[in-house]
Structure 1
């Protein structure tokens, strides 16, 4: 296992929070919009329903609820927060950063806050950045949020996407520990997946013009077969890389928490790594794919299964393509 320099602390997770909207969109609901069925959706994705945020609310509202949940559950004083990193592909607006909006809603000032957009890998990217802040001792208390209001970008007539995606927000609190925490991360990206998973409109290349009729390029588009193949291979390879360079075997890992993209992808990654099914955590059945929120929400909903000292492997794959894996020791 990689040795840690004594003078450099670990970044340990000391709190977890989450929020899921109360509104549900079931498979039966989707039958009204396109040719599909509950049986077909469950067989292909493992999803029975997904949560949908109210139209008058935004990503920041879910993030605020998740942070407040963490603060209440772990008796944390939000005034201690030094930095806030928000992983999201669905910011409230192009600028300012959603992280800034969250601070204003929480009444926090003098906090270093910014957004990270790495799609479904965003939480892992933000976690690695936040860990570095704590390890260098420049910041002591860092919040890492994964939040997405992706239903806003889903075409209800497109069954390649409407069956998968839902809304939600999860958050963790990081602070220094000499005993354990985030141990390693392997994160990569390229531009090879640009055409296979994307939302075109809204940026500088395809700005939204209010004088023009709504075009379907504002909706999320996905080539499911291509994404599936690359996701399984990339997530498996990333996990194996982290295992190898930390002199670990899959038997040493207590829990695998993959990005909740599709139950078939989760199962395929588990088989590739040869980890028992009951050690690969999943909550996709009733939440769907919440983009950057899937991993923190999965931790939040399965927290009673985790024991102090457990080794946990996280892995994700998203648009870009972007992918990676992270390893940490659970210290709560």
Structure 2
């Protein structure tokens, strides 16, 4: 989808509490140094931010809390009043509850009302899909200013007080990977000097058996069924292939060559997978922005974390391509952004 007239006025993110490193998580789980080394080298995550207190197990933040913080900060950075927002879209794989929609809770808290609101539920593709909906409505003239949010919290699925001996390999990997966070982008059809411009946004179903599943009931429902499954071999094999396809599709859509891109935002399934993607793309001279190593896999917040950092580094101008591959049902896509 070509979107030459959509401007990104601000991107802001919110993470709950201080970072929790692998050593602190290992102490809580009752594992040893070998687990710490595995989490850092085998998974590729050094720390994460958790919406649950590590010691007491109490939930400290909801997704609505984090989304509200990110949205308020983004509006302030953009100089946009809540009354000027006429569209909100949110992507998440783990909303706070079935009803009400988290996007509506956030809208109510920040004072946005009488506007269309949408919430998409999906893996790490949902933020890009939310962006597609916003771009479509902005481009058609149905809206002029939109908030697009993405985020996830693992509190229903990851309990640091769990008996590590009872966890399946997939659940143990999820404990090492999981991080919580949210982000918000302010989009507008009104041009501003120096504001980044969306040159493309795309997502499409690639098909195939899911490599990851996440049951709605969570880790604590005592159903006897696994809350999480994770085929790491499939993720590590297929994500780089689909990322390369998404890269070519986005560049062709924007009319760019490989050498036109200054920054790439690779998929963030884990630090290990990110390394495989950047190696597969073989982009000499293109800076890679990765956040999964210190923020964990916070799902639909990760591209916003990457984008916030990338745009700060492109204040003098440049082009960035963000890649997304969702392994739950193999969705590929991403965004192309140009900073004047």
The CA RMSD over aligned residues, in Å, is: 2.5
CA deviation string 1:186-220 (max 9, x = no partner): 311255233x2111234xxxxx8x9xx61354633
The correspondence for 1:199, drawn from 195, 214, 229, is: 214
What is the correspondence of 1:1-332 to structure 2 with a 5 Å cutoff?
Answer: 10-32=5-27, 33=29, 34=31, 36-54=34-52, 55-154=59-158, 156=160, 157=164, 158-177=171-190, 181-190=197-206, 192-194=208-210, 196-202=211-217, 214-215=222-223, 217=225, 219-276=227-284, 279-307=287-315, 309-318=317-326, 319-330=328-339
Q: Give, in whole Å, the separation in 1 of the partners of 2:285 and 2:222.
A: 44
Superposed displacement of residue 79, structure 1: 1.5
Q: Give, in whole Å, the separation in 1 of the partners of 2:213 and 2:138.
A: 33
Q: Give, in whole Å, the separation in 1 of the partners of 2:224 and 2:204.
A: 30
Superposed displacement of residue 182, structure 1: 1.7
Answer whether contact 1:23 1:53 (CA < 8 A) is retained: no
Specify the SS of the correspondent of 1:120.
coil
Q: Give, in whole Å, the separation in 2 of the partners of 1:289 and 1:42.
A: 13
Question: For this pair of structures, how many residues does the alignment match?
Answer: 317
Specify the SS of the correspondent of 1:239.
helix
Answer whether contact 1:84 1:112 (CA < 8 A) is retained: yes
User: Residues 186, 76 of structure 1: CA spacing in aligned structure 2 closer, same or farther, 3 A cutoff?
Assistant: closer
Match of 2:56 in 1: none
Superposed displacement of residue 61, structure 1: 0.8
Q: Give, in whole Å, the separation in 2 of the partners of 1:281 and 1:18.
A: 15
Ranges in structure 2 where 5+ consecutive residues have no aligned partner: 53-58, 165-170
CA deviation string 1:299-330 (max 9, x = no partner): 22344211354221111112222221221213
Ranges in structure 1 where 5+ consecutive residues have no aligned partner: 203-207
When the two structures are superposed, what TM-score results if normalisation uses the length of structure 2?
0.85
Specify the SS of the correspondent of 1:160.
helix
Superposed displacement of residue 97, structure 1: 1.6
Q: Give, in whole Å, the separation in 2 of the partners of 1:19 and 1:145.
A: 11
When the two structures are superposed, what TM-score results if normalisation uses the length of structure 1?
0.87
Match of 1:205 in 2: none
- 4+ runs deviating over 6 angstroms: none
Match of 2:167 in 1: none
Q: Give, in whole Å, the separation in 2 of the partners of 1:151 and 1:217.
A: 18
Q: Give, in whole Å, the separation in 2 of the partners of 1:137 and 1:308.
A: 30
User: Residues 95, 310 of structure 1: CA spacing in aligned structure 2 closer, same or farther, 3 A cutoff?
Assistant: same
Q: Give, in whole Å, the separation in 1 of the partners of 2:108 and 2:254.
A: 41
Q: Give, in whole Å, the separation in 2 of the partners of 1:245 and 1:317.
A: 18
- Report the more deviating stretch, 307-316 or 95-104: 307-316
